[in-house]
Chains A and B, each alone.
Chain A
Amino acid sequence: MRFARIRYFWENRRPLLVWRGLLSLVPIYVFLFATKWAFAGLTYRILGKVNQEGWRSLMEASTQERWILLIATFFGFACARYVWKFGRWMESEQRDEMKLILGRLDREMFEEWMREKTRERREAKLIQGAPGYRLRALAEFFFSPKVYQEIFEPTLRDLYDEYCEALNAGRPKKAAWVRVRGYWSFWSAFIAQLPISTVKIVYRIWKAIS
């Protein structure tokens, strides 16, 4: 049934030709890499250790290829998720059954779905916790309670204060910017603190052992 839904959607060319094109990138790159690795493996088998350097260079993807693969995979998954959700929505609401039977996809239907989705997301944002509440859990997991309380909690607290101040002043764009800046601060602190904490932990373990 699920495949049938996706197939129905897939076979209708409107309005997701762009998505379809992007999705096509994934198998292309999978094929490209599979071929490359198979060829590299074969070369290694035939030529043995003589061509080890060549084999290594073949196995390693260039930076450009890595980025393209990453972006293609990201868009591929995002598109597949949307296609899937759209199919489920059409079935759950039993919208325009006649159109489904006729196998036609109406642009209005898609736009309505998008509007509904945007509204849901906006409402979901209103009821979510303070900005950075997921990052709190992350910092608590990675660092000791002392480090968390002295470094990460105040960083996120500042983000929270500034965010609320911007919202109270009726400036949602500034609030969004504050959020981005706050996340940047958090990750800067995270990267700066990680080596210090790691060294401390290693030293403590070494001291306990010796």
Chain B
Amino acid sequence: MEIPRLSSKEALILRLLVAKGEMYGLELVNEAGGELKRGTVYVTLGRMADKGYVESRTISQDDGSGMPKRLFHATGYGARVLSAWELAGASLGWGRA
């Protein structure tokens, strides 16, 4: 069985999503205080969705843009991976993973 891995950015995103619930990319960037970049936040989220850590849903808005808003939330699996990762980090003395 493959052990799930988390990069520092993925851990940060999961932490924010677990703490604050559903968020979209720009909110995550603003909340991260410079640790996440606008250009790569959705790439990271896409990778996390492939791993099953996060899920997303779209909200259609009739504002003429033709682009729905995408909200992300942590899955149960993602939350468990984060807590296991933080536990492992604390036991091994990594600080905050």
Chain A residues within 8 Å of B, Cβ to Cβ: 130, 136, 147, 149-158, 160-162, 164, 181-182, 184-189, 192-193, 196
Contact = CB atoms under 8 A, between A and B. Distances in A.
B40 A153 contact: no
Contacts of B70: 149-150, 153-154, 157
Contact of A185 (B38, B63, B67): B38
Given A153-B67, A188-B37, A158 B43 contact: no
B87 interface: no
Contacts of B68: 153, 157
Interface residues of B, number: 23
B38 A158 contact: yes
A140 to B, nearest CB: 12
Interface string B49-81: 100000010100001111111100000000000
Contact of B42 (A155, A161, A181, A184): A155
A150 B46 contact: yes
Contacts of B42: 150-152, 154-155, 189
